[in-house]
Amino acid sequence: MTDAATPPPQPIPWQTADVVEIVTQTPRIKSFFLTLAQPFAFAAGQHVDVRLTAPDGYRAMRSYSIASPPDDRTRLELAIELLDDGEVSPFFHDVVAVGDKIELRGPLGGYFLWPPGETGPLLLIGGGSGLVPLMAMLRHRRAAGLTLPVVLLLSSRTWDEVLYREELLALDARRDGFELVLTLTREPPRRPGDFGRRVDAAMVLDVVHRLPSAPNLVFVCGANRFVDAAADGAVAAGIPAAQVRTERYGA
């Protein structure tokens, strides 16, 4: 119910975005760089809804997390994983080309986002393309010159499937309070301190202890089974459930 004196809230408008660059990031993930007709402010961790319309008016809609930081509004980056039986991701991977126009609206999502003024420490846990909203957070931390302690635990199948691998390694090498921990589920680890198995409670406890003190917030993003394992691990490590925020790639 809206008070009579309050105007009804305006819907978030659909707008057209131009595809200006496409980058193959891993064998199954491509980045789509978009310029918007009406650029918007957003928080790291938010997503957009993308809407595709067929000639007969049929529409398909999906949500994609924003990978680029809010500090750069000139281009929006969506990193989209190819799902073999998908309807929309194969279209992006096989059909979309530079110069195409895509309809979207945003920003959307009011919970899985970088908390303004946060002093940390923060623990980020991502599985595969679940890194995307966490990457926007890490890029924001770097672009804004923030120094709060952050550990990222990232699970990937193989070294070659580590999304944004070179950028993450470069961030890690800065030693500015950010630490990258990789776990590979189908290969042995390549760096000291990394893991070579699926995320479990012992691994989460290990990375919690790499922070200077217990994390204020934990952000977990990925497929549901991954998120359950990581979030249960965080709770088992003594972090209150209310401080563990999850985003599950459900469909």
> Which residues form the interface with other proteins (CB under 8 A)?
1, 8-12, 16, 49, 51-55, 58-63, 87, 91, 95-96, 100-103, 108-112, 224, 228, 231-232, 234-235, 241-242, 244-246, 248, 250-251
Minimal distance, residue 172 CB to other proteins, in Å: 27
Q: Which is nearer to other proteins, 212 or 251 (CB)?
A: 251
Measured from the CB atom, the residue of 188 and 240 that comes closer to other proteins is 240
First-to-final CA distance of the chain: 32
Q: Which is nearer to other proteins, 117 or 250 (CB)?
A: 250
Q: How far is the CB of 181 from other proteins (least distance, A)?
A: 20
> Quick one: 3 exposed, middle or buried, by C-beta within 10 A (0-12, 13-18, 19+)?
exposed
CA 48 to chain centre: 12
Contacts of 6 (CB under 8 A, 6+ apart): none
**127 or 164, CB closer to other proteins?**
127
CA 14 to mean position of chain CA atoms = 22
CB of residue 80 vs other proteins: minimum separation in angstroms? 14
Minimum Å gap between C-beta 222 and other proteins is: 12
Which of 87, 165, 89 is CA-nearest to residue 126? 165
What 3-state DSSP class applies to 206? helix
Report, in Å, the least distance between residue 19 CB and other proteins: 10
Q: Report how far residue 132's alpha carbon sits from residue 65's, in angstroms, rounded to the nearest whole number.
A: 6
Nearer to other proteins, 118 or 228 (CB): 228
